[in-house]
Amino acid sequence: MGYLFKNGMVFADGGFVKADVLVEEGHVSLVDSVISDHGAQVVDILDKYVFPGFVDVHVHLREPGFSYKETIRSGTLAAARGGYTAVCPMPNLSPVPDCADNLNVQRDIIRRDAAVHVYPYGAITRGERGEELADMESMADYVVGFSDDGKGVQAPEMMRAAMERARKLGKMIAAHCEDESLLEKGWSVNQGAAERLGLIGNAPESEWRQVQRDIALTRETGCAYHVCHVSTKESVELIRRAKAEGVDVTCETAPHYLTLTDMDIVDDGRFRMNPPIRSKADRDALIASKLDRTVDMIATDHSPHSQKEKSGGLSGSLNGIVGLECAFPVLYTKLVLGGVIGLEKLIDLMSGAPCRRFGLPGGEICASGPADFAVFDLQREYTIDSGEFLSMGKSTPFEGWRVKGRCLMTVCNGRIVWQEV
């Protein structure tokens, strides 16, 4: 038996229409103004909004190897609660997915436990050590791309070799851009916050210098290249120029870089991530990039840690915050209700654009398309409370924020995988 979702405001063909959505056998059978029940279970969603499921191309699910931080089950349930129907986990795991056998450890858990679609990355180098290329050929059919996220590939000749191999395999290189030679030992925050809080700063140049290098390598190799978690105005300008030249480059940024500046940081582990939250000028450049499509999509970089690992303040905590369960309400409240971008644009940044770039199904609600969507109440106002999170990670800089836009239900593969009680 299928489902008939009645009376919703459905995102279709780039805009919203009041319509019913019939779901049968894992697909959308029909989207129309009035649909008879066809024997389906009727779900009345009067005046609620139906979005194509969000797609996050940058998350950390921590399993295998670090299941005390997060599991594939808990992470994908958190994704569903946030309106996501697909996530792409990074390979900093144990074992590192740098060959088919190691990747299969992760794939077996995904098949058993995932609540939403999971498309993993393979590592660029063995063990993410930057010394030898991973067995990319053996993984190519089963990964969304290759990344050493958490570490920048330091040697240009290694990155060039990886790009050449990825191009032959028809796969993306997704890079964490960080020149370690420009980092001071013990850094924890952007330079502006460092001066205010008496800590060691992270220079913006550590990011954009490697973006600059990799764009040049992309130009040489013809590889499809994606920059992870862009945070600086210089990176934005480099990517803008490269796109104008026709270089095959895209990039993502995260909700915290669009809504916070280093003046918002306090000495608490929930404000420590890599790259760090940067200056107002950087944030403004990222917001402006949405208007000219320089930054292509939004990803959360959901990075759960244990409470102990995040309890050491800015200098003594591990890098990483959680974001899957609060990304949309934060962005909707700050950017859409704040008059920065339209709702349709935000939906594309969180769904359509990642699907198009990474060749994933979804990103739209249409007849014969996958039944992957989320139902939101855009009038619902509430306070972000990490105690409600399904993720095992609770560390978020958005704790206590008043926001609008509550996910009521998420449908993946035609099944209701999460529903607010």
- Could you say which of 301, 348, 372, 377 is catalytic? 301
Q: Give the whole-angstrom CA distance, residue 356 versus residue 146.
A: 17
- Give the three-class secondary structure for 298: strand
Cα gap 364→346, rounded to integer Å: 13
C-alpha to C-alpha distance for 331 and 329, rounded to whole angstroms: 6
Question: Is the Cβ–Cβ distance between 10 and 365 less than 8 Å?
Answer: yes
DSSP 181-208: GGPPTT--EEHHHHHHHT--EE-THHHH
Q: What residues have CB less than 8 Å from 352, skipping those under 6 apart?
A: 52, 363, 364
Complete edge-to-edge strand list for the sheet that includes strand 117-118: 54-59, 84-89, 117-118
Q: Determine the angle formed by the axes of helices 280-292 and 233-245, rounding to 10 degrees.
A: 20
Bridge-based pairing of strands 225-227 and 373-383 is unpaired
Which uninterrupted H or E stretch holds 22? strand 15-24
* Alpha-carbon gap, residue 140 to 153, rounded angstroms: 19
The token pair at 133 is 């290329």
Count CB-CB contacts under 10 A for residue 227: 29
Distance of CA 354 to the CA centre of its chain: 9
Q: Is 301 designated active site? A: yes
**Catalytic amino acids?**
301
